[in-house]
Structure 1
Amino acid sequence: MKRGWMSIIVSTVVSLALTAAGCSSESSGSGQTESGLDKELNVFNWSEYLPESVIKKFEEKYGVKVNYSMFSSNEEMLAKLSAGGGVFDLSVASDYFIESMVKQDMIEPIDLNNIPNFKNYLPDFINKDFDPGNRYSVPYMGNTVSIGYNPDKITSEITSYDDLWKPEFKRQIVLVDDQRFIIGIVLKTLGYPGNDTDPAHLEEAKEKMLKLMPNVKAFDSDSPKTLLINGEVNIALVWGPEIALAQREKPQIKTALPKEGLMITMDNFVIPKGAKHKKTAEAFINFILEPEISAEISESFPYINPNGEARKLIPKEVLDNIAIYPPAEEMSRVEGVKDVGDAIKLYDRIWSEVKSTQ
């Protein structure tokens, strides 16, 4: 999610991380820290998803150098892990990617004995169907996609995804650059499930999405709130937390929860196959799950936090913001993004064909 001012604070980009990881402390025989961990950790995460302050606190506490790299989509993450093998020690992947990654033998089992703070999770977020017992994944944060808009500029009421097709919104919309969410939402406007795999339904969704393109100014997963804040667009179909962050700059921005219902995904920590610093990666996960640390992350990047102890430290106005935490009645009918198997090839083709018209 994601999710770019974060790029300013990152000491390495993906290409440099590939080089740095190849010269990691373990492979060079430089030993371990006083805490018994490896001296380096190579982390791969969404952009705008982890504050520098948290990374520095981990480094200072454990004497570990964190090489931090970012991606903008699950597809980019998967491609890098496939190409890089054990270059990264820890990555983040959305829930609907986990099962496939396990089948492809891309990730290592996680030793929950090394993550005692696992006890802090709310029950609704663990032991899910895609990874029973959390053998391969540990929740990080999640989000729905909602509609944010500036009522000072948009006079029409927005209550539905279908409203985005109004001709008056020409070049007024930014869409999150995520094919599963956007195609899923278009499917929902047609009365189909957001995870539909019927080729005829997907072709219908493609034709409808093509009709939306004149209204779309940009696709952006790195920092879509920026276009809304600076007035380049007045409507954003994006991660809910991006709307919440935009509201910090422009309080007049409103959130619309479309009548068709929301889609949701949770991101999870995974350890790539062949990771050289597995125990250190597990220590990092455990550190992230410290209530104060987890709450600090939510202050900077207010995504859905599955950590029950951390939620006790999160301000009420954040927990009450429907862009981040939709009301219970909305959550009761939310649709999770799921693995669509071989139909992903259809999603890929549709996404490529639609975006090529921009």
Structure 2
Amino acid sequence: MNDEPACILTPVRQTPIYRWLTWLVALALLSVGCVPLPPQAASSPAPEALPLVVLDWENDITPEILQGFTAETGIPVELHYYYSAEEAYRRILEGETCDLAIVANDKVPGLIRAERLLPLDLPQVPNFRHIAPAFRDLVIDPENRYSVPYSWGTTGFVYHPAHVTSSLIQWADLWDEHYAGRIFLWEDPRTVIGLTLKSLGYSVNSEDLQALNLAAAKLNTWQTLPPAPYRPEALAEAFRSGRAQVAVAWVGDYLLARREIPDLVYALPAEGSILWMDHFVLPRSARSPEAALRLLDYLLRPEVAAQITAQSLWATANETSWAQVKLDPDVQVLVFPPAEALTNAELILPLSPEAEMAYNRMWEQFVRLRTPSPEMISSPTPP
């Protein structure tokens, strides 16, 4: 083993939260100009309604935070979880009853096209003014007619130093035979296909046919564990059981796993991280849209947004809340990384319908190759 570091680590030092915003502004292609902030409007009285249904990732908005809304308004709230961005998209497309949902950045345009979202009456959401200008008015939803930016974060390597005996510096190193069959992945097609594209020097959002063919070929040679549906505790379980030596994961999940396994390390690849972003939306199936807007406005209060960040460890788009987020310095620098840590990072963007079909075919083949066939599963010994 040489004396060179195993990978490029995100520097652990306290950095003002505002510094990384300059990087976000550089994503000018995502924005078409900011809209004027809506005027404040008085909240309407709580309507007589059934419990609000919120569709969200597990380990995000906690029941305790929603209980605060219920105590204040008298409106009960139910949390319904999903375990992949694709699952949330499908459930909303299918019309599942839901009053407020959190969906991935690349899924918003498809839901708009399918007419599965209600337009937002932003004057009824005065706390929208706390969303940082760099996050507003994105090309996925000009003028924020259907969505409100919520949270974002990085994707990187997670590993235990004792198990990394060869270089782990860039996405391409995940194909090293040393890690064959010991790589943990979430069931997230855009991340897995995106990192494969980046390992080949292409954009995470590439629709180039040659790039996709090369990525498909490389993806099918990758020896990984079967992709896992999202469960916050699954990452630590994979390392604790010895099934995983390396993982591709989101920073909040790493910080959660580190509570159980303090020696775990998180690092951003040299080719650049893959950034994800989630948004609040009101599905057309909402039974109580006015009450849902009240809940949205409550969740956009800076003190509430800061509490969500402190508990979930996901960065927020709520600019006013940043100064209220109190985390240990080594955690804060990972949740809100400095601009230099985001060099070459790319945000996952929507695809054209044709490219989306190609990505889906790549993913289905990748999963099929990692699913044991019936003949590989031993049959019970006959009596």
* Both structures adopt the same fold (TM-score exceeding 0.5): yes
Cα distance, 1:319 vs structure 2: 7.6
User: Do residues 337 (structure 1) and 365 (structure 2) align?
Assistant: no
State the alpha-carbon separation in 2 of the partners of residues 91 and 123 from structure 1. 22
Question: Quick one: which amino acid aligns to residue 259 of structure 1?
Answer: A
The match for 1:303 among 314, 319, 334 is: 314
- The answer for the alignment partner of 1:246 in structure 2 is 257
Consecutive unaligned residues in structure 2, runs of 5 or more: 1-43, 371-383
State the alpha-carbon separation in 1 of the partners of residues 281 and 164 from structure 2. 41
Indicate the structure whose relative CO is greater, using CA pairs within 8 Å and at least 6 residues apart. 2
Cα distance, 1:322 vs structure 2: 4.8
Superposed counterparts of 1:1-358, under 5 Å? 35-36=46-47, 38-84=49-95, 87-213=97-223, 215-216=224-225, 218-223=227-232, 224-228=234-238, 230-232=240-242, 233-317=244-328, 321-342=332-353, 343-358=355-370
State the alpha-carbon separation in 2 of the partners of residues 251 and 53 from structure 1. 27
Cα distance, 1:323 vs structure 2: 3.9
State the alpha-carbon separation in 1 of the partners of residues 292 and 216 from structure 2. 41
State the alpha-carbon separation in 1 of the partners of residues 330 and 88 from structure 2. 29
State the alpha-carbon separation in 2 of the partners of residues 113 and 144 from structure 1. 32
State the alpha-carbon separation in 2 of the partners of residues 273 and 217 from structure 1. 34
If you compute each CA radius of gyration, which structure gives the higher value, 1 or 2? Answer: 2
Aligned residues: percent identity? 27
**Alignment check: 8 A CA contact 1:318 1:324 kept:** no
**Alignment check: 8 A CA contact 2:227 2:367 kept:** no
State the alpha-carbon separation in 2 of the partners of residues 319 and 125 from structure 1. 25
State the alpha-carbon separation in 2 of the partners of residues 251 and 295 from structure 1. 25
State the alpha-carbon separation in 2 of the partners of residues 229 and 61 from structure 1. 42
**Alignment check: 8 A CA contact 2:93 2:114 kept:** no
TM-score by length of 2: 0.79
State the alpha-carbon separation in 2 of the partners of residues 319 and 74 from structure 1. 28
User: Secondary structure of 2:282's partner?
Assistant: strand
State the alpha-carbon separation in 2 of the partners of residues 34 and 130 from structure 1. 32
Cα distance, 1:155 vs structure 2: 3.1
User: Secondary structure of 2:217's partner?
Assistant: helix
Cα distance, 1:154 vs structure 2: 2.0
Cα distance, 1:228 vs structure 2: 4.7
Q: C-alpha offsets along residues 33-87 of structure 1, whole Å, 9 cap, x if unaligned?
A: 96346342111112222112112111222111212211112221222122226x2
Cα distance, 1:177 vs structure 2: 1.2
Cα distance, 1:222 vs structure 2: 2.3
Inter-CA distance 98–246: structure 2 relative to 1 (3 Å threshold): same
State the alpha-carbon separation in 1 of the partners of residues 247 and 66 from structure 2. 30
Question: Quick one: which amino acid aligns to residue 341 of structure 1?
Answer: S
Inter-CA distance 244–318: structure 2 relative to 1 (3 Å threshold): farther
State the alpha-carbon separation in 1 of the partners of residues 121 and 330 from structure 2. 31
User: Secondary structure of 2:292's partner?
Assistant: helix
**Alignment check: 8 A CA contact 1:37 1:280 kept:** no
Cα distance, 1:173 vs structure 2: 1.4
State the alpha-carbon separation in 2 of the partners of residues 318 and 38 from structure 1. 43
Question: Quick one: which amino acid aligns to residue 283 of structure 1?
Answer: R
Consecutive unaligned residues in structure 1, runs of 5 or more: 1-32
- The answer for the alignment partner of 2:4 in structure 1 is none
TM-score by length of 1: 0.84
Q: What RMSD, in angstroms, separates the aligned Cα atoms of the two structures?
A: 2.1
State the alpha-carbon separation in 2 of the partners of residues 162 and 72 from structure 1. 27
Task: Point out the more displaced range, 215-224 or 234-243.
Answer: 215-224
User: Secondary structure of 2:81's partner?
Assistant: strand
**Alignment check: 8 A CA contact 2:127 2:301 kept:** yes
User: Secondary structure of 2:168's partner?
Assistant: coil
State the alpha-carbon separation in 1 of the partners of residues 360 and 221 from structure 2. 18
- The answer for the alignment partner of 2:36 in structure 1 is none
